[in-house]
């Protein structure tokens, strides 16, 4: 299960617009991707999967029977003798739908795209691959239950999700959609999904008045307005069974950007049994970054939802990795994030500072406002030509220069070992056969050498990771050795910036040179005193640092530590864990310096503890294996 799968089929290249050779949805969209992957040797690292067509039954699990029949009829009737008249017939058929074109091969290509998405997903669920990419077209996330839309005919990601649910091997599926356009089709298909979960709540969550908006070809598709200053926030305890959670970030401009729908706004959070399982992050201004979305919304929701499977609608029409330092978030983005967190906070734990304040304290409540500027126009016939923007050479040139710079500076080298393990001389660990056997997860584990030097094993492992010989590692070492390793990183490896995260809260760890050194940024996750005046210190006053919940730690990590780390871009992250007997340990994780920031993680975690079941559990996590049941069995 260590390989990455890749699937595509050259037959999908036959689908093209016959009356507009410069149409944006053309074969070059994937041929350029394939060519670049082959040039870099990436496909040689992947397990190439055999594509197949989706069956009519698999399509019908998501779409209405007419969806398949209509497409098959349009393409079949023009399959032979493609002359001028037949092209006109295809264009006339396309004018009945918003932003689509037809080709005699469209139905076969669409079936191949959906079938390939299913095949990739099933290989992941069968543990044949760890993850994968389907380079397929035509795309799918705009395709609705009974309507073609936005270059899309069958909703590939929704079809793959349905088949994963039907197999019984995935009960919670997270769909992340980062295309520049909102995937209204995917949202519609799961908005009030009857595949239910049990809700255990002290009382029914009261809703304010709700206005219904009938979407094309879908009844009971309603706008959720269960938010507002008077809304009683009732924590809903959820026992998850079968569920799909759809999260989309997209350009919106208050409805002025296609698909120009009200339901693309932040207040559409699901309906019926699907309420709370739809999250839209509409961007109302161009040029916004995406890191705040990841930190404040996506990561907290994903951790709480705990999906069995993550499916990504990876639209790259808005992607350009910017190597310059991360700027302050735009006010429009802050407004959007606060709106999203407010409407979802009765269903999920999101953000720091959004919870109700204690009695007597100042209460700062964000009140969302709705804005929709688009004036809908009913069309009997959609335009089929000259509707796509043309980008000039002058506009493309700066982006091309930045992309070329990224190509030159991106390191795609793969270390010879995925996981390294080092035991320091001072560490006292159980060398029983059972313990050693639990560490033998794969043959890729690399043991640190040079035992004659006091700190050679942890420091040597760090040097191997920083030097690109090992992807990540685990070291057992003492508290004192952790500080020595930090000094080794600065003095010997000449690392310029070190982020020191102290999960123990013992301020004596950070005394001396660490806090005073400008090359070290110190973060205390469980500060027990008020004596530290520098660095970043979390003091959980409400419960005196005892039994701090995972949600609190996650909020601290996502809302504070990760944003700072992304901007500071440290060469090394040093993690000091809890004392012996607590769950955690001492260690360090190394990150390579690159203009792309944290695009590639390398890590070492070190431990000093007696509960040694944590070590093999962490090994499994590094290799992408399930950990919960394994941890319970070991401990």
Q: Is 142 a catalytic residue?
A: yes
Q: At what angle do helices 479-491 and 456-466 cross, to 10 degrees?
A: 40
Pick from 593, 603, 602: which is nearest to 409 by CA? 593
Q: Please say whether the beta carbons of 179 and 264 come within 8 A.
A: no
Counting Cβ atoms within 10 Å, is residue 89 exposed (0-12), middle (13-18) or buried (19+)?
middle
The catalytic residue among 15, 63, 103, 142 is: 142
CA neighbor of 340 nearest in space, from 439, 264, 449? 264
Positive or negative: CA dihedral 189, 194, 197, 199: positive
Of the candidates 55, 53, 54, 51, the residue with the CA atom closest to the CA atom of residue 7: 51
In this structure, how many other beta carbons lie within 10 angstroms of the beta carbon of residue 269?
23
Is residue 348 within 8 A of residue 306, CB to CB? The reply is no
CA proximity to 150, closest of 172, 182, 104, 115:
182
Spatial distance between the Cα atoms of 406 and 487, rounded to a whole number of angstroms: 32
| Residue among 417, 218, 174, 453 at smallest CA distance from 313 | 174
Task: List Cα–Cα distances, 93 to 27, 74, 81, 101, in angstroms.
Answer: 21, 8, 18, 8
Tokens of 342: 């407010």
CB 531 within 8 A of CB 522: no
Sign of CA dihedral 72, 77, 81, 83: negative
Residue 87: alpha-carbon gap to chain centroid: 41
Task: Tell me if the bond preceding 259 is cis, omega within 30° of 0.
Answer: yes
The first and second tokens of residue 229, run together, are 């200053």
Cα–Cα dist 381/491, whole Å: 70
Q: Tell me: cis bond preceding 138? Omega within 30 of 0 counts.
A: yes
Contact 612, 619 (CB under 8 A): no
Cβ–Cβ under 8 Å, residues 250 and 283: yes
Q: Specify the DSSP element, H or E, that contains 590.
A: strand 586-590
Annotated active-site positions, please?
142
């Amino acid at each position: 299960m260590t390989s990455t799968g890749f699937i595509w089929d050259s037959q999908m290249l036959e689908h093209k617009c016959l009356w507009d050779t410069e149409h944006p949805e053309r074969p070059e969209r994937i041929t350029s991707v394939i060519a670049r992957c082959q040039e870099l040797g990436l496909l040689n690292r992947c397990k190439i999967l055999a594509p197949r067509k989706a069956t009519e039954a698999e399509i019908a699990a998501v779409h209405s029977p007419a969806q398949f029949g209509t497409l098959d009829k349009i393409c079949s009737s023009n399959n032979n003798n493609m002359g001028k008249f037949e092209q006109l017939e295809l264009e006339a058929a396309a004018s009945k739908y918003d932003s689509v074109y037809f080709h005699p091969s469209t139905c076969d290509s669409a079936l191949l795209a959906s079938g390939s998405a299913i095949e990739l997903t099933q290989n992941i669920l069968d543990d044949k691959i760890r993850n994968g990419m389907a380079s397929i077209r035509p795309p799918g996330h705009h395709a609705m239950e009974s309507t073609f839309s936005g270059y899309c005919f069958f909703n590939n990601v929704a079809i793959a999700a349905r088949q994963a649910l039907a197999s019984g091997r995935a009960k919670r599926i997270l769909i992340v959609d980062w295309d520049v356009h909102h995937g209204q089709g995917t949202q519609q298909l799961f908005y009030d999904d009857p595949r239910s979960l049990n809700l255990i709540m002290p009382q029914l969550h009261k809703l304010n008045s709700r206005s219904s908006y009938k979407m094309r070809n879908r009844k009971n598709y309603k706008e959720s307005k269960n938010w507002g200053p008077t809304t009683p926030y009732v924590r809903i305890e959820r026992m998850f069974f079968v569920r799909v959670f759809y999260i989309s970030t997209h350009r919106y401009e208050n409805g002025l950007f296609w698909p120009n729908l009200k339901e693309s706004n932040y207040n559409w959070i699901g309906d019926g049994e699907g309420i709370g399982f739809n999250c839209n992050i509409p961007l109302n201004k161009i040029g916004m970054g995406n890191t705040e979305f990841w930190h404040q919304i996506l990561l907290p929701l994903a951790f709480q939802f705990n999906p069995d499977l993550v499916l990504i609608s990876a639209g790259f029409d808005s992607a350009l990795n910017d190597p310059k330092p991360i700027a302050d978030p735009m006010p429009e983005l802050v407004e959007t994030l606060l709106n999203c967190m407010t409407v979802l906070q009765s269903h999920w734990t999101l953000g720091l500072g959004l919870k109700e304040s204690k009695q007597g304290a100042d209460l700062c409540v964000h009140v969302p406002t709705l804005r929709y500027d688009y004036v809908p126009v009913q069309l009997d016939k959609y335009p089929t030509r000259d509707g796509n923007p043309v980008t000039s050479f002058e506009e493309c040139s700066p982006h091309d220069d930045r992309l070329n710079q990224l190509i030159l500076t991106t390191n795609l080298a793969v270390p010879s070992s995925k996981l390294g393990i080092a035991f320091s001389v001072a560490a006292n660990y159980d060398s029983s056969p059972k313990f050693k056997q639990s560490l033998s997860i794969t043959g890729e584990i690399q043991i640190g050498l040079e035992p004659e030097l006091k700190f050679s094993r942890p420091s040597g492992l760090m040097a191997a990771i920083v030097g690109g010989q090992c992807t990540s590692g685990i070291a057992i070492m003492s508290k004192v050795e952790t500080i020595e390793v930090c000094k080794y990183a600065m003095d010997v490896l000449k690392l310029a910036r070190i982020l020191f995260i102290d999960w123990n809260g013992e301020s004596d760890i950070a005394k001396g040179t660490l806090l005073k050194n400008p090359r070290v940024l110190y973060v205390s996750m469980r500060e027990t005193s008020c004596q530290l005046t520098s660095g970043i210190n979390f003091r959980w006053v409400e419960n005196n640092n005892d039994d701090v919940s995972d949600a609190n730690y996650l909020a601290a990590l996502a809302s504070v530590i990760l944003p700072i780390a992304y901007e500071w871009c440290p060469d090394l992250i040093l993690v000091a864990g809890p004392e012996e007997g607590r769950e955690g340990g001492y260690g360090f994780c190394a990150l390579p310096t690159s203009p792309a920031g944290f695009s590639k993680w390398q890590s070492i975690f070190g431990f000093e503890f007696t509960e040694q079941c944590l070590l093999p559990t962490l090994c499994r996590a590094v290799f992408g294996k399930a950990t919960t049941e394994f941890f319970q069995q070991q401990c």
